[in-house]
Structures are given as C-alpha cells and as structure tokens.
Amino acid sequence: MSDLVLSEDRGPIRHVVLNRPDKRNAFHAELVLATGAALAAAADDPAVRCVVLRGAGPMFSSGMDLAALSALAHAPDRLRAFRRHCIEAWNRAEEMPKPAICAIHGACIGGALELALACDFRVLAADAIVGMPETRIGLIPDVGGSSRLPQMVGLGRAKELVMTGRMIGAEEAERIGLATRVAAPEELDASVQRLADELLACAPVAVGLAKRVMDASARPALAATLELEVVAQERCAATADFAEGALAFSEKRQPAFDGR
C-alpha cells in the first residue's frame, strides 16, 4: 500500500491515516486512490470492526490540491475521471458494513469535509475548523458535499455554509449536528477511542445493518444528486470565475468575480 496512507490496527479498530503532511494532506490523484484502497482493505478485513480516519501532521486535511484541480479545469473528461475516483473512495466509508469515525484536528476543508461527511461519525478537536469554501474560488462541493450536508444539518444551514463558503469552529459544528462529539485537543484520541468502544460493545452485524438502513432512508436519491454535482462542477470549472478564483487563491488576494 502507498505510504501516502498508513494503516494501523489497534485490536479490531483499523486506523487509516492520511500521510501527506508536507502538503497539509491535500488530495491529489495518488492520495485519493490510496485512501480508497485503504478503506476498501479495511472494509474487506473480517478482523476489522471499526475504522478511524485520521490525518498526519498539523491538520486532518486542507481538501483538494488546488494545483491538481486547476490543471483539470479545461479538460472535462479528466475532471470527471478525477471526481469519479474521489466519489468511489469517499463512498467506501459510507458503504462499508462497519462504523467509520473521522477524527478531525486542525482543519477539515472542502473535499476533506466531504470525506468526513461520508463517515458515520465526526469527532472534532475543540480548536478545529471545518467548512466548504469552494464557492470562493468559483466551484461547488462536488464529491458528495452538496448531497450529504443538507441531510445532516438541514437545507437552510447547508445553503448558508456552501453558498457563503464560511468556515466554522467545532462548537458551532456540534450545535448544528455536523460534529458528533467535540473534545479538548489533547483528549481527541481518547474521545475517539471511547466512541469506538461503545460501538464495539454492540453486535457487529446489527450495527452494520442499522447503518445501511438509516443511510438508505436519509439519502434515497444520492446517486442522482451526485451526478448533478459533477454536471454543475464541469460548468463551474469552465468559467472565467474559476480561473480568477484559482489565481487569486495562489496570489493570496480577494478574487474579482464577474459571473462569466
């Protein structure tokens, strides 16, 4: 398995660790594929009863690698292929018949938050920040965020977060239902372990089936809305606004959008 993602077993708990700390665990094609492979391996291992997704370094993940996205901006087929790999990888967390916990420290931004939303639980350090700022560079959350977030926090809250690109802290994330639990930074690992222990105390087949039934009930039209996301993103990626947004981000300035 790629050293971009590390796997560590702690009894029946598989820790899957994003390991690109020098790039703030930003997702490029290789990290996306490695994450999907690690989640698939955990899902298929009968000795694993719970999966914890973590990030190495100072934050969980800064989201998608903007340089990689910019290179795909005017190549719709390549953008769709990259996005398909992301969806397949992220969906593994949701579709595996065992609970998946995302442990978030530092920051969880954009596509990384979309991965966290595909997990069953999100445990945040009290000083962590989360958000989907894609609209600030001329894009939309297109790997499940626009589909999953409304079911989790309600349509109104989701619209506010996505359409303003606002980042929020752990306390607000817990208040609106985005964070399952919040812990002091030094207690994050212990809080994740306590949640995992509670899950392990329950019958694994029943836990897995309950997960499947509740997800199906909450998101019956997920496949259709995921396709709408990519159609919208392809249109966004071809705009002058995205070109300006990506340039402004690299230059650390406010973009000048004109709706083209």
Q: Which residues are catalytic?
A: 114, 134
Whole-angstrom Cα Rg for the chain: 18
* Separation of alpha carbons 146 and 84, rounded Å: 15
Q: How many whole angstroms separate alpha carbon 63 and alpha carbon 218? A: 25
- CA separation for the pair 209, 225 (Å, rounded): 24
Pairing of strands 100-104, 107-109: unpaired
Identify the bridge partners of residue 55 per DSSP, sorted by sequence position: 18
Distance (Å, rounded) from C-alpha 178 to C-alpha 193? 19
Question: 109 — phi, psi (to 5°)?
Answer: -125, 140
Phi, psi of 29 (to 5 degrees): -55, -40
Residue pair 47/10 in contact by the 8 Å Cβ criterion: no
Other CB atoms closer than 10 Å to residue 79's CB: what's the count? 20
